[in-house]
Structure formats: C-alpha cells, structure tokens
C-alpha cells in the first residue's frame, strides 16, 4: 500500500481529508513511494488557528527555555542524521554524502537558533535627557510561514522555522510537494525535543495552499526559497497583503578564473560546484569565466567533469543523482539542445546518459559548453542541471562586467593567487556572497545568506542576525521616574526632552 503523507496540525500528525493527491516518486525509478494530499481550506484554517492560539503562550516562554528546546532539537537531528538522509535519498535521489550534508547544514542553523538569548538583546542608553532612560526590546511578530523548494528538503526548512520559533513566533511550513516526507520526519523530532503543541504546523499541497498563506490576515511574515517567477509572485502578493516577505529566487553564479590560480584546485572546484547535486543548487557554479591564458584549462576541466557519473544513492561510486522529475530532465535537455543551436561548442554532452539497471531514471550526464556568450539562452536561464557553461575574457575588468551585468546576484567566486585581484573583485562585484578560492560561498549561520539583485526580494535575509530582525519587531521605551525631591516645573510645550 502506498504511504499517505500526513499533515502536522495542532500537535498531531493527521490523515488528510483532501481528495487532490500528488504522487511522490523515486526519481531513479519513477516508482510511486508515497502520496501527498493537498490540504483543504478547512485544514489550512485549522493549522493557522492552532498557530495563532499557541503564539499567545509561546511568546511568554522565557528565551532561555526556547534556547534549550533548540539544543535538544539539534541533538536529535544529529542522532537521526542518517535516517533523515535516507529519506532524502529515496524521495529526491541525492547521494548519501550529499543528503547528509543537506541535514548537517540545517543542524548548524538550529545550533545558531540556540544562541537566541544574545541575538535578541535590545539596546539601552541611560540619561538620554536628565533622569530619562531609553531602552529597546526585541519582540516576536506572531504567526509566520515558510514555503520551501525540493532541492534541500532538510536544510531550507531548518533555515526558517527554528529561527522564527526561537524568536517567539509560531510557524506554518508548506514544504515542496515533490519530497514532503523529509519535513515530516523533522517535525516528529521537533516534537520529541519538547516543542509545545501548535508551535509548528506542517501543511502539504501546491499553489492553492501557498495562496491561502499569502492571503490569510493572521500570517505576519513569509519566507520563501524557489524559482524566480514564483519568488516574484510570492513577494508581490505577500506584500500586497501587507505581510513581511523574504523571497530567495533564482541564480546564475559565476566563477572567475585568473591565470595565476592553482590549476588543479580550479579543476576540482569546478567539478563539484557545477555538477554536484545534479546541478540542483541555487548556489551551483553554472558559468566559468576564464581570464586570459586560463582559458587553456577548459579541456582539462571538461575531461575531469567527464569522469564523474550519476547513479542511484546505493551506488557508492555515484557522483550525483537524477533530476527531481521527468519534466525537470526534459527542461535541462531542451536547454542543452538550445545551446548547440545557438552556436556554443558542446565539449561534453550528457544528453544521452544512461544508468545500468535504471532505465526510467531522470538522468542527465555531465555537460560542458565553451564559447558561450551572454546572448545565449544557456547563459541567460538558470539551467538547474549538471551543465557548466564557459566563457573567455581578456581581463579581470571584463570578467567583472560580465558578472555585474547579470540580473542575478546570489553567489560568485574568484580563483587567484593575487591578493590585489581578489580585493578588487570582492569590492567591485555586485553579488551578495563572494568566495575567494572557494567555489560555493554559502556562509555559516552566524552570518546571513545574502543574495542580491534578482536572486532576492525583500529586506532582511535568511538566518544569522538578519533572520532575527526579519522575525521580530523592535519596541523602544523612553522612561522617567520621579523622585519626591524633584521640583515640579510647568508644562513642556516643545518636542524636546527635558
């Protein structure tokens, strides 16, 4: 019997009542491993009402107790890391190592959430005027919500709800319908850690359920990670409904390679950063910009990438897994063909990739293009597959122009032995996250994930200090206490404190 994915509402896993079912398939075989029912309007309302009621008591829980909840939760996630990774492997197809990394990067955010007492400290100044003090408190918003993508089913939900809940909010999570089982396991562990009833809700579904979140008046803030079009829709719709929104959208991440870089380090970095996780990372390096004589390395890069191969997660030699769906695979293959038609040189073609014993898998082999220009669709679109496009320019200034002219600004990196070149690049590049001799510069969670331009819509970013600001409001108090011996003066008719 096919497993039925349950909602987590009001502290319990409940059997869905909706009749709109979405199959959850193993992307290596197309076997249906579960079915997820879209939450009904009634179930959505029940979840939101439960979160709203829980907020009234949760916001009063001492911040130290909220921190200890996150400590216990992080401990359980570590204990069950392998079990969670196995679920990811089955429903998303990631290799075991990649799936464990997915979980671990989420654990790091939970550990940061355990630092919430110091992160929520306000400010104070004594005697802003005579015998008058001003101080501020950081207070939660209320019911918050998160809408997460398929590609990191553990990490990205853990970017969101632990920080929001640690700040004193309650949370509605709508994970991707393509791999919903991972989040349910995480919710189960959150309950085991001692999370009170109603603090976290998990509802499954698609656009209709997203729209319910966007329009409901009791939801105060929304976090989203996903595609550009959906990110723009969520930001516009959410803010039109007077909600606070952070929407992380698409990317086209460039690596600039200077001629003085360490060639072997460049080759190794490009292999992992371009085709790792089947290219299904918003921080994947999909464009390599070779400066000057570094372009001579392109054949070696293609040769090294050609040595890796996709496979099922039970194969210890598989470098990465399948695309999430047949539709995703078809889109990647279409863009590869488009690149050939537009005149790019396909140095390595993975279009006809096959994995023995798994003829129905959503396989795309590693693919490399050279002689790519900024007018080509394979450059302009986020391919989200194991495809590396390469370009050649004459100088660092030209490379900077290429990167800065891109509408996206999620991540970038430069490989060089020159401190001057690295300093110029990090200072002038118009991208939010920069790596120097590091291909994928995703910051650890005591910093924030800071995409720019068309990669992010909003003001405050994910995790780190910015997440605390996103999930809270600041209340500023100005106070005077009168001593009996202070003479009473006449009315103050000005705005000045005195």
The one catalytic residue in 38, 144, 282, 353 is: 282
Per the annotation, the verdict on 282 as an active-site residue is: yes
User: What span, in angstroms and rounded, lies between the C-alpha atoms of 86 and 314?
Assistant: 10
Q: Write down how long the chain is.
A: 498
What tokens does 269 get?
């970095």
3-state secondary structure the chain: CCEEECEEECCEEECCCCCCEEEEECCCCCCEEEEEECCCHHHHHHHHHHHHHHHHHHCCCCHHHHHHHHHHHHHHHHHCHHHHHHHHHHHHCCCHHHHHHHHHHHHHHHHHHCCHHHHCCCCEEEEEECCEEEEEEEEECCEEEEECCCCCCCHHHHHHHHHHHHCCCEEEEECCCCCCHHHHHHHHHHHHCCCCCCCEEECCCCHHHHHHHHHCCCEEEEEEECCHHHHHHHHHHHHHCCCEEEEECCCCEEEEECCCCCHHHHHHHHHHHHHHHHHCCCCCEEEEEEEHHHHHHHHHHHHHHHCCCECCCCCCCCCECCCCCHHHHHHHHHHHHHHHHCCCEEEECCCCCCCCCCCCCCCCCCEEEECCCCCCHHHHCCCCCCEEEEEEECCHHHHHHHHHHCCEECEEEEECCCHHHHHHHHHHCCCCEEEECCCCCCCCCCCCECCEECCEECCCCECHHHHHHHCEEEEEEEEECCCCCCCCCCCCCCCCCC
Residue recorded with tokens 């023995």? 356
104's torsion region: left (phi>0), alpha (psi -120 to 50) or beta? alpha
Beta bridge partners of 53: none
Determine the Cα–Cα distance for residues 204 and 44; give it in Å rounded to an integer.
9
Which of 132, 123, 134 minimizes the C-alpha distance to 477? 134
Q: Which two tokens stand for residue 312?
A: 């099922």
| Closest to 279 in 3D by CA, of 207, 366, 150, 371 | 366
Catalytic annotation, residues: 282
């Amino acid at each position: 019997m096919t497993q039925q994915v349950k909602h987590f509402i009001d502290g319990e896993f409940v059997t869905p009542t909706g009749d709109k079912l979405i199959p959850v398939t193993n992307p290596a075989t197309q076997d249906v491993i579960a079915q997820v029912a879209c939450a009904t309007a009634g179930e959505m309302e029940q979840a939101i009402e439960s979160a709203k009621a829980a907020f009234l008591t949760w916001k009063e829980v001492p911040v130290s107790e909220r921190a200890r909840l996150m400590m216990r939760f992080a401990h359980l996630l570590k204990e069950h890391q392998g079990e969670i990774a196995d679920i990811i492997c089955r429903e998303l197809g990631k290799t075991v190592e990649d799936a464990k990394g997915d979980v671990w990067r989420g654990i790091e955010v939970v550990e940061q959430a355990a630092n919430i007492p110091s992160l929520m400290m306000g400010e104070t100044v004594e005697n802003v005027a005579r015998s008058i003090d001003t101080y501020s408190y950081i207070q939660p918003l209320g019911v918050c919500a998160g809408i997460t993508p398929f590609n990191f089913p553990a990490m990205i939900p853990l970017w969101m709800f632990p920080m929001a809940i640690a700040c004193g909010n309650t949370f509605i999570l709508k994970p991707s319908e393509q791999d919903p089982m991972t989040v349910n396991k995480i919710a189960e562990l959150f309950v085991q850690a001692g999370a009170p009833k109603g603090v976290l809700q998990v509802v499954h579904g698609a656009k209709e359920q997203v729209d319910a979140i966007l329009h409901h008046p009791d939801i105060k803030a929304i976090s989203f990670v996903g595609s550009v079009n959906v990110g723009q829709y969520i930001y516009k719709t959410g803010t039109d409904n007077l909600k606070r929104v952070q929407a992380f959208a698409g990317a086209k991440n460039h690596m600039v390679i200077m001629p003085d870089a360490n060639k072997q380090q460049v080759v190794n970095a490009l292999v992992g950063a371009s085709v790792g996780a089947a290219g299904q990372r918003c921080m994947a390096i999909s464009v390599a910009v070779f400066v000057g004589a570094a372009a001579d390395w392109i054949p070696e890069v293609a040769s090294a990438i050609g040595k890796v191969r996709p496979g099922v997660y039970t194969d210890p030699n598989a470098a990465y897994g399948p695309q999430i769906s047949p539709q995703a695979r078809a889109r990647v293959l279409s863009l590869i063909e488009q690149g050939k038609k537009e005149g790019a040189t396909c140095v390595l073609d993975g279009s006809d990739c096959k994995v023995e014993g798994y003829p129905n898998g959503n396989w795309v082999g590693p693919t490399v293009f050279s002689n790519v220009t900024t007018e080509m669709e394979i450059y302009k679109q986020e391919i989200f597959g194991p495809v590396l496009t390469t370009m050649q320019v004459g100088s660092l200034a030209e490379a900077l122009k290429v990167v800065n002219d891109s509408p996206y600004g999620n991540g970038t990196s430069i490989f060089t032995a020159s401190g001057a070149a690295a300093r110029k690049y990090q200072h002038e590049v118009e991208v939010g996250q920069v790596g120097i001799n590091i291909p994928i510069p995703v910051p650890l969670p005591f910093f924030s994930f800071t995409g720019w331009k068309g990669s992010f819509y909003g003001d405050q970013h994910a995790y780190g200090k910015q997440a605390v600001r996103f999930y809270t409001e600041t209340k500023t108090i100005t106070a005077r206490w009168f001593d009996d011996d202070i003479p009473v003066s006449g009315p103050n008719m000005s705005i000045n404190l005195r």
